[in-house]
Copies of this chain bind each other. A is one copy, B any other.
Amino acid sequence: MPPKRIALFPGSFDPFTKGHEDIVLRGRLLFDEVVIGIGQNSQKQRYVSIEQMTDCINKTFAAYDNVRVETFKGLTAVFAETIGANYLLRGLRNTTDFEYENSIAQINRNVNKNLDTVFLITAPELAYISSSVVRDIHKYGKSVSEYLPYEL
């Protein structure tokens, strides 16, 4: 029997969007376990707190045994090792994403030889959603409910 395939889905998730949800729902079929890892970056002020975000994501995937949320500091590749993840799971929305992810994937493999990165392309009707745009819309008091899988 092959070793368990555990994927880390890392991000700042500020906030977690329906685009992210699409990747997790498809990833949980591909992997035995998906860990959503919220990276803490002390230099960036968050719009939605890590605590609130953790709650929202937990509720979103409450029905799924093999999805859970963690927070982490430091290098993604090191955190992956800590939790026994042998894969990083990433969504691609467009070519700008691709070039960034390409570079990061090689580096992560260098840091942790047993860590491969797997990509899913975000469903096209969700690919235009980005956390930064959702923050902008919410900040100005417009509804963001169609971009998020939970209520903010």
Contact = CB atoms under 8 A, between A and B. Distances in A.
B128 A125 contact: no
Contacts of A128: 102-103, 105-107, 124
Contact of A98 (B87, B98, B103): B98
A136 B103 CA distance: 13
Given A121-B119, A125-B124, A92 B98 contact: yes
Interface of A: 2, 5, 26, 29-30, 32, 74-75, 78, 87, 92-96, 98-107, 110-111, 116-121, 123-125, 127-130, 133, 136-137, 140, 142, 146
Nearest to A3: B29
A96 to B, nearest CB: 5
In this complex, the member of A74, A110, A123 whose beta carbon has the largest number of chain B beta carbons within 10 angstroms is A110
A93 B94 CA distance: 11
A123 B102 CA distance: 9
Given A118-B119, A140-B78, A94 B87 contact: no
A78 B142 contact: yes
A72 to B, nearest CB: 11
A146 B110 contact: yes
Given A2-B29, A75-B142, A120 B127 contact: no
Given A74-B140, A75-B136, A98-B92, A120 B119 contact: yes
